[in-house]
């Protein structure tokens, strides 16, 4: 019998949709279904967005050549989504949301710190995606002569927000159905877009783009990491937790990384070719990353393009709002999951209104947001990956919810590692386009890296350093703690009164 909340089976015809009741609880054995290949659909659907085309312009904006940008994209996309694949293994080993499984490393209450950061990141991403979908719709309507002003943006924002919030509130059953259709529709229409604008590519112009320095190349790699996999890594186990615990770990890693990386690879290559062929287009993308792409299209395809743009962005935003709700619960909010998702939806709408109607510089703020939160998320990922690598057994279901259990309450070592790595990381990144981030980069001068205006200023080394520090630190300092945890006998049934599910 298929459980109605099973995300890997609920897309089948005949299964009624209903609000998902699962929150932070561990999925029972009888409810786990599917195979690792099922993970392809949500990950592909969440990343088959035409926003991937705009990353071509973002990468070239670092002052590097086509070939350097392509290499940076391959390293950044594949490497970061591989991290998602590794953390997705925790989902099938523990059958709980990512930020619940993180309690094994951070303690039951100590885990609230990374949960808050995870919540901020996912809310930020869903806000950005909603704003982009709104601006793209307004641009298309303006090109068609149907408006495109304040009224059009307001209506578009309401429609996009409604789709996103409904999907997040309903939960996995509706999400999996949406993602299958989004994957098919956006995949086909994106291929049509590529065919229609292919004649705007001028290889001689692209090939003539001069190469940049090693520091600029590293900066592009880190930006790709934060823009793709590191934006998902804190939610990577949310979609594998319904799989049987006996599922292949290699399959979970492979299908997660493959499903998430495939579309961004293709879109990035084509986006590089387009942006490298036209400096004007590359500049326009910085202001309106998706709307600028409509300038290359024949009029008859503008409406289909709006459909593919909106659906692709909604596909990512729906998964973000679902995971942001779970992260908010993990941070300590005691409400049902669907109310947490609804609250995040309201914040998303408020943030999108600011971006669409009031913000002047989208790209600068966007890059600042990615880099700033990318540092603590990278620090968390280092702890989580090392902790997962040290474990030989599945997680103990009951003790994930008990402050007095084997995982502890507020262990100092992982928290201090994370805070220290974040402090070091923020000292090694800069973003002058966002005025509220000018305090960063305070270690570049003391470490002899040229200060905030030197060659290393935009390499964003802080993200990589934070990841490496916490990973190595946890491997060195966490082995004894993990062995002691796994030496204990299994705990009794879960205490539901200790922390909410």
Can you give the pLDDT at residue 224?
A: 95
Please, are residues 172 and 322 in contact by the beta-carbon 8 Å criterion? yes
Can you give the pLDDT at residue 9?
A: 40
What is the residue-wise DSSP string for 447-458?
A: TTS-GGGSTTTT
Instruction: Tell me the per-residue pLDDT of 435-476, one tens digit each, with 9 for 90 and over.
Output: 778 899 999 999 999 999 998 998 989 999 999 999 999 999
**Placement of tokens 């904006």 in the chain:** 61
Report the predicted TM-score, pTM, of the whole model to 2 decimal places: 0.86
**Placement of tokens 């495109």 in the chain:** 148
DSSP 3-state assignment of 490?
coil
Average pLDDT (374-389) is 96
Instruction: Tell me the per-residue pLDDT of 327-361, one tens digit each, with 9 for 90 and over.
Output: 999 999 888 888 888 899 999 999 999 888 887 76
| DSSP state at residue 428 | T
Can you give the pLDDT at residue 463?
A: 94
Per-residue confidence band for 242, with pLDDT thresholds at 50, 70 and 90:
confident
Instruction: Say whether pLDDT at 120 is over 50.
Output: yes
Instruction: Say whether pLDDT at 4 is over 60.
Output: no
Instruction: Say whether pLDDT at 363 is over 70.
Output: no
Please, are residues 382 and 102 in contact by the beta-carbon 8 Å criterion? no
Can you give the pLDDT at residue 12?
A: 39
Average pLDDT (134-160) is 86
Q: What's the CA gap between 67 and 268, in Å, rounded? A: 12
Q: What's the CA gap between 243 and 252, in Å, rounded? A: 9
Can you give the pLDDT at residue 377?
A: 95
Among 460, 467, 459, 440, which Cα is nearest to 378's? 467
Q: Measured in whole angstroms, how far is the alpha carbon of residue 75 from the centre of its chain?
A: 17
Can you give the pLDDT at residue 59?
A: 94
430 is written with which tokens? 């800069």
Average pLDDT (259-284) is 93
């Amino acid at each position: 019998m298929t459980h109605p909340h099973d995300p890997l089976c609920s897309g089948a015809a005949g299964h009624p949709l209903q609000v998902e009741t699962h929150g932070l609880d561990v999925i029972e054995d009888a409810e786990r279904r599917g195979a690792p290949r099922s993970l392809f659909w949500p990950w592909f659907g969440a990343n088959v967005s035409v926003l991937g085309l705009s990353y071509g312009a973002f990468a070239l904006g670092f002052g590097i050549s086509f070939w350097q940008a392509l290499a940076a994209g391959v390293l950044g996309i594949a490497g970061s989504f591989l991290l998602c694949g590794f953390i997705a293994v925790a989902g099938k080993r523990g059958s709980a949301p990512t930020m619940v499984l993180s309690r094994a490393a951070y303690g039951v209450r100590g885990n609230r710190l990374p949960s808050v950061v995870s919540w901020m990141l996912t809310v930020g991403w869903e806000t950005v995606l909603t704003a982009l979908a709104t601006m793209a719709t307004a641009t298309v309507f303006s090109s068609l002569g149907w408006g495109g002003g304040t009224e059009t943006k307001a209506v578009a924002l309401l429609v996009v927000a409604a789709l996103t919030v409904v999907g997040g509130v309903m939960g996995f059953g509706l999400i999996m159905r949406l993602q299958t259709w989004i994957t098919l529709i956006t995949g086909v229409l994106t291929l049509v877009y590529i065919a229609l604008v292919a004649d705007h590519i001028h290889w001689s112009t692209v090939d003539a783009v001069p190469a940049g320095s090693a520091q600029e190349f590293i900066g592009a790699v880190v930006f790709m990491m934060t823009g793709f996999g590191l934006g998902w890594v804190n939610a990577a186990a949310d979609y594998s937790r319904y799989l049987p615990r006996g599922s292949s770990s290699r399959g979970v890693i492979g299908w997660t990384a493959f499903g998430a990386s495939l579309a961004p690879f293709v879109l990035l290559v084509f986006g590089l070719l387009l942006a490298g062929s036209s400096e004007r287009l590359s500049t326009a993308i910085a202001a309106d990353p998706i709307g600028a792409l409509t300038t290359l299209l024949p009029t008859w395809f503008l409406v289909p393009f709006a459909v593919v743009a909106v659906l692709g962005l909604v596909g990512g935003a729906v998964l973000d709002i679902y995971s942001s709700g779970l992260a908010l619960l993990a941070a300590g909010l005691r409400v049902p999951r669907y109310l947490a998702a609804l609250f995040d939806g309201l914040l998303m709408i408020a943030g999108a209104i600011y971006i669409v109607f009031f913000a002047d510089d989208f790209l600068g703020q966007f890059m600042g947001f990615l880099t700033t939160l990318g540092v603590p998320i990278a620090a968390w990922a280092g702890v989580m990956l090392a902790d997962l690598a040290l474990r030989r057994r599945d997680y103990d279901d009951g003790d994930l919810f008990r402050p007095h259990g084997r995982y502890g309450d507020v262990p100092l070592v992982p928290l201090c590692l994370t805070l220290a790595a974040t402090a070091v990381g923020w000292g090694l990144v800069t973003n002058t386009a966002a005025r509220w981030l000018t305090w960063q980069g305070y270690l570049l001068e003391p470490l002899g890296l040229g200060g905030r205006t030197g060659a290393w200023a935009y390499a964003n080394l802080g993200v990589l350093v934070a990841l490496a520090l916490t990973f190595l630190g946890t491997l060195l300092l966490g082995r004894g703690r993990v062995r002691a945890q796994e030496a204990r006998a299994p705990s009794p049934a879960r205490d539901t009164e200790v922390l909410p599910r």
